[in-house]
Amino acid sequence: EVQLVESGGGLVQPGRSLRLSCTASGFTFGDYAMSWVRQAPGKGLEWVGFIRSKAYGGTTEYAASVKGRFTISRDDSKSIAYLQMNSLKTEDTAVYYCTRFQTTGRGGGPLDYWGQGTLVTVSS
Amino acid sequence: DIQMTQSPSTLSASVGDRVTITCRASQSISSWLAWYQQKPGKAPKLLIYKASSLESGVPSRFSGSGSGTEFTLTISSLQPDDFATYYCQQYNSYSPTFGPGTKVDIK
């Protein structure tokens, strides 16, 4: 059974950093591109970014709203994807979901598995 | 970026009703569209991909159609478990975008 479990959320002050982790199981993690999607309280879904599999260079893509502040990485030996969030703003407050692309390593495409989400609150 | 719109934003319906939700893209996305269902406090669930392909395990009362810039999600006979918010998502580019959502509630 495919499982994605996020961790690392919490309350953080504006301007500070936070790192989220996504621990995957039930599939060959290294074969898949992984993505992060967020949802502000009471709002819709916003794509944050994704990382391709090593077979596709392990490169990343980001939404304009987070580019230059957020970094996605992966450790295939541990089946973990990370979201490093720097220079956090109040508008980054959201539930952050780790997701898997249905179409393996290149990225892009529908998201067929989602974690339960972890709440990040940016507030002073 | 490609902008997505959905209509209506809220839909009130009864069990057994046929329900249709429309999603429009600001430019052609061929058939690169997915639909998701989200219930309160839960993660979204993939229902439909490539505009009309049913994800494994999703009931056949869900169907999708369309191409280019206009798409529809249809629930043929609404069930109690279907009251939720539905989102479309384009993946024509490496900068995917979601629609604002359509909430289906009980009439």
Distance CA A58, CA A16 (A): 26
pLDDT of residue B33: 98
pLDDT of residue B107: 86
Confidence category of residue A105, pLDDT binned at 50, 70, 90: confident
For A59, B16, B38, B73, the CA distances from B58, given in Å and listed in that order, are 32, 17, 14, 13
Q: Does A5 touch chain B (CB under 8 A)?
A: no
Backbone angles phi, psi at A16, to 5 degrees: -90, 180
Compute the residue count for chain B: 107
Q: Does A98 touch chain B (CB under 8 A)?
A: no
Q: Kindly report the number of other CB atoms within 10 A of residue A10's CB atom.
A: 11
Strands B102-106 and B10-13: parallel
E-assigned strands of A9-69?
10-12, 18-25, 34-39, 45-51, 60-62
Confidence category of residue A106, pLDDT binned at 50, 70, 90: confident
Average pLDDT value over all residues in chain A: 97
pLDDT of residue A94: 98
Q: Does B40 touch chain A (CB under 8 A)?
A: no
Which of A47, A108, A112 is facing B98, going by the closest CB pair?
A47
- Say yes or no to pLDDT of A95 above 80: yes
Among B29, B87, B94, B98, the residue to mutate for chain A (most A Cβ within 10 A):
B94
Distance CA B70, CA B13 (A): 23
Distance CA A91, CA B2 (A): 22
The verdict on a CB contact (< 8 Å) between B44 and A114 is yes
Q: Helix %, strand %, coil % for chain B, to 5?
A: 5, 50, 50
> Over chain B (107 residues), what is each successive 10-residue block's mean pLDDT?
96 96 97 97 97 97 98 97 97 93 94
pLDDT digits (tens, 9 = 90+) for A25-78: 999 999 999 999 999 999 999 999 999 999 999 999 999 999 999 999 999 999
pLDDT of residue A107: 86
pLDDT of residue A104: 77
The verdict on a CB contact (< 8 Å) between A45 and B46 is no
Estimate to the nearest angstrom the gap between the alpha carbon of A121 and the chain centroid.
Answer: 16
Q: Does A63 touch chain B (CB under 8 A)?
A: yes
Residues in chain B closer than 8 A to A117 (CB atoms) = 43
The verdict on a CB contact (< 8 Å) between A111 and B46 is yes
Q: Does A119 touch chain B (CB under 8 A)?
A: no
Smallest CA-to-CA distance from B65 within B35, B107, B100 is with: B35
The count of C-alpha atoms lying within 13 angstroms of the C-alpha of A15, restricted to the half-sphere facing its C-beta, is 1
pLDDT of residue A103: 84
